[in-house]
């Protein structure tokens, strides 16, 4: 009787994302904080809860273990993000089109309101600072557009049209 083995390459392709030097630094700082400060705190909380006796009815122990699991998931997710992170050389980017790290001024065709957004990676998005993700509906609608073009963006109540007024790099 013979055995037949099939080996499958189980390598997971990590999603490549592009970051500014500042964005990469923030990701690394968060990961280091989680590993160097939060992980030891979680271990300490588990040890303290374990010392309180019967683990079968110890809610503190269960909560500490769950918190540790969530922390490890966050660490794993950050490590995966960093493994696919690439630094953008902004000086090499085309300024004639809206690309990641472009600052785009748009004008709503319906009400004439003007807005300015910087297109960034998902993890760098912060609407209060005017940074929107290239994965958001508006971000996707603006990518690749040039000054003078119209971006048609699907929103829950229909399609919004925006004139591309200006594209800059900051």
Q: Judge whether residue 125 has pLDDT over 60.
A: yes
Indicate the angle between helix axes 59-83 and 39-50, nearest 10 degrees. 160
Q: Which two tokens stand for residue 131?
A: 């940074």
Query: Which residues is 150 bridged to in the sheet?
Result: 163
Q: Judge whether residue 110 has pLDDT over 70.
A: yes
CA-to-CA dists, residue 78 to 28, 122, 133, angstroms: 8, 13, 17
Residue 36 DSSP class:
I
> Tens of pLDDT along 6-27?
433 333 445 777 777 777 888 8
Q: Which two tokens stand for residue 32?
A: 């280091």
> Tens of pLDDT along 85-108?
877 766 666 667 888 888 999 999
User: How confident is the model at residue 20, as a pLDDT?
Assistant: 73
User: In whole numbers, what is the pLDDT of the chain averaged over residues?
Assistant: 82
């Amino acid at each position: 009787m013979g055995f037949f083995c099939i080996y499958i390459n189980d390598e997971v392709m990590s999603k490549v994302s592009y970051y500014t030097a500042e964005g990469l630094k923030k990701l690394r700082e968060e990961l280091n904080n989680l590993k160097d400060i939060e992980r030891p705190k979680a271990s300490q909380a588990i040890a303290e809860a374990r010392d309180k006796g019967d683990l079968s009815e110890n809610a503190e122990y269960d909560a500490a273990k769950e918190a540790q699991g969530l922390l490890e998931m966050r660490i794993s997710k950050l490590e995966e993000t960093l493994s696919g992170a690439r630094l953008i050389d902004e000086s090499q980017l085309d300024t004639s089109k809206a690309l990641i790290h472009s600052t785009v001024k748009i004008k709503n065709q319906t009400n004439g309101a003007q807005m300015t957004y910087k297109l960034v990676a998902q993890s760098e998005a912060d609407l209060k600072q005017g940074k929107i993700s290239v994965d958001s509906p508006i971000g996707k609608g603006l990518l690749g557009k040039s000054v003078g073009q119209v971006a048609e963006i699907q929103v829950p109540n229909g399609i919004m049209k925006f004139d591309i007024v200006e594209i800059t790099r900051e």
